Amino acid sequence: MPLYKTDALILRTYKLGEADRIVVFLTRDRGKKRGVANGARRARSRFSGALEPLTRVGVTYFEREQRDLVRLSYAELQCSPLLAAPEALSHVGYFAELIDEWAQDSDPNERLFRLGAATLDALAAGVPTPALARYFEYWLLRLQGVYPPPLACHRCGSAFDRDEPGAWLEPGGHVLTCARCAGAGPGEESGRLVRLSGDALAFLGLAGRIPPLELGTWRLAPSVDRELEAVHRALMRVHLEKELRSVRVLRDLRR
Ligand SMILES: [Zn+2]
């Protein structure tokens, strides 16, 4: 039975029998895996503290051909999301759920692993969550090839002006257009179109160039945060065809 040793991010776990857990994790080199962690629910377990969502671990597991479930033999804690500030903890499950939704079983995706690991490091270092969440969503959607290029209008090709009026996401979520092509007046908001202001586009330009740790203490203006969030939610709804459980949880927490 082949034995594998690699870095991984824990995505979620669920109970199995009296004492065990099924663990869903994203490996650096072999995609998403599901494995049994024997005895993980016992008080003194060799997995204790290492199976929280978004924890980065060094895992050792056995995998047999034709079996969906691998067997985890060890998970060594490398970085825990519990190091993050209390107000950031509400986002941990959100990041983990998004990675779980987009990662494919046994389909290697090292860039997704690196995005998750870098996001964890930034969380643990205290990077504020609104900026980090929008950064993470932007890159996640970009890696999946579903983020419309935020540089120029899809219809007429004119570069988006960093000043007003910005860019509009067309219904269906596949392209960003300028105000003229969107048929929107300056500052117009309608249920049909979602707008990104010049400041939101500037944030995307920055996010495209730097690792998340360099967001440092970046404070997104609440209005810019809302615009980016609205566009990212719309893109996720189109491409996942559902709303995530953790999105509802975050919304409830905000009420
Ligand atoms: Zn245009």
pLDDT band at 164 (very low <50, low <70, confident <90, very high): low
Whether residue 130 is preceded by a cis peptide bond, meaning omega within 30 degrees of 0, is: no
Average pLDDT over residues 186-206: 77
Query: Ligand 1 centre and the CA of 173: distance in Å?
Result: 16
Question: Residue 143 — pLDDT band, cuts 50, 70, 90?
Answer: very high
In the predicted model, what is the mean pLDDT of residues 208-222? 90
Query: From ligand 1's centre to the CA of 162, what distance in Å?
Result: 14
- What mean pLDDT is reported for the chain? 89
* Residues within 5 Å of ion ligand 1, judged at the Cβ atom: 153, 155-156, 178, 181
Query: How many whole angstroms from 188 Cα to the centroid of ligand 1?
Result: 16
Ligand 1: distance of its center to the CA of 245 in Å? 36
pTM for the model stands at 0.90
Q: Is the pLDDT of residue 29 over 90?
A: yes
Per-residue pLDDT at 187 exceeds 60: no
Tokens linked to 253: 């927490």
Given a cut of 60, is residue 93 above it in pLDDT?
yes
CA of 5 to the centre of ligand 1 (A): 50
Ligand 1 centre distance from Cα of residue 158 (Å): 6
Predicted confidence at residue 252, as pLDDT, reads 76
CA of 186 to the centre of ligand 1 (A): 14
Query: How far are the Cα atoms of 34, 177, 231, 247, 248 from residue 254, in angstroms, in the given order?
Result: 32, 31, 19, 11, 10
Q: Determine contact, residues 236/146, Cβ cutoff 8 Å.
A: no
Identify the pLDDT of residue 86. 84
Tracing tokens 């995307």 back to the chain, one arrives at: 204
Q: How far is the CA of 146 from the centre of ligand 1 (A)?
A: 20
Mean pLDDT lowest among 55-59, 129-133, 177-181, 223-227: 177-181
Residue 152 has pLDDT above 60, yes or no: yes
CA of 128 to the centre of ligand 1 (A): 34
48 or 183, which is more confident: 48
